[in-house]
Amino acid sequence: FHHALSGRSVYMRYFQALGLSQRIAHERLTRICFIDYDREMALVAERKDSGAGADQIVAVARLSKLRGTNEAELAMLVADQFQRFGLGTELLGRLLQVGRDEKLQRIVAEILPENVDMQRLCQRFGFELQSSIGDPTVRATIGL
C-alpha cells in the first residue's frame, strides 16, 4: 500500500513528508495494524492483484476516539491510482455508521487547507468546516 502513495498524498494525510522507510517501519506498522477496538476502528479497501493473486490494500480509513470525550477523529488515505472512484465516499459513510453504532456524539477531522478534495467529501456528508487564524488546518465536524 505505502509503495503506491505519492509524496503529495502522504503529505495530505500526515501533514509532513514521510519517507517510505518511515511509513513501513516495523514498529509503526505494528502500532497501526493491531487495533484496540474499544478506542479505534480501521477499515481497508482491497482489490485482487491479478499478477500476484493476493489482495492489495488500496485505501485505509481510521476512526480514533478522543480521550475523555465522546468524540472521535477521522483519518483517511486512498492510494493515488484509486482516487476518484468512490472509495473515500464509501469508507467515510461506513465510518460514520460505526460512529453512530458506537453512540459517539461527534466526529472531527483535521484537514490541510489545500486538501480541497477531502474538504468537499466531508461537506457532502454534512460536516461543517471551520478554519481559525493561526491554525494550520481546517477542522471538519459532524454531530451524530
At 4, list the grid cell: 503506491
Please, is 141 exposed, middle or buried when counting C-beta atoms within 10 Å of its C-beta (0-12, 13-18, 19+)?
A: middle
**Residue 100 burial by CB count (10 A; 0-12/13-18/19+): exposed, middle or buried?**
exposed
pTM of the model: 0.80
* CA dist., res. 12 & res. 9, Å (int): 5
| CA distances (Å), origin 5, targets 44, 47, 48, 81, 88 | 15, 16, 18, 9, 15
Q: Which CATH superfamily is domain 2-143 in?
A: Gcn5-related N-acetyltransferase (GNAT) (3.40.630.30)
Under the banding of pLDDT at 50, 70 and 90, the label for residue 20 is low
pLDDT in tens, 86-110: 999 999 999 999 999 999 999 999 9
Domain ranges of the chain: 2-143
| Tens digits of residue pLDDT in 39-79 | 888 898 888 877 767 788 889 999 999 999 999 999 998 98
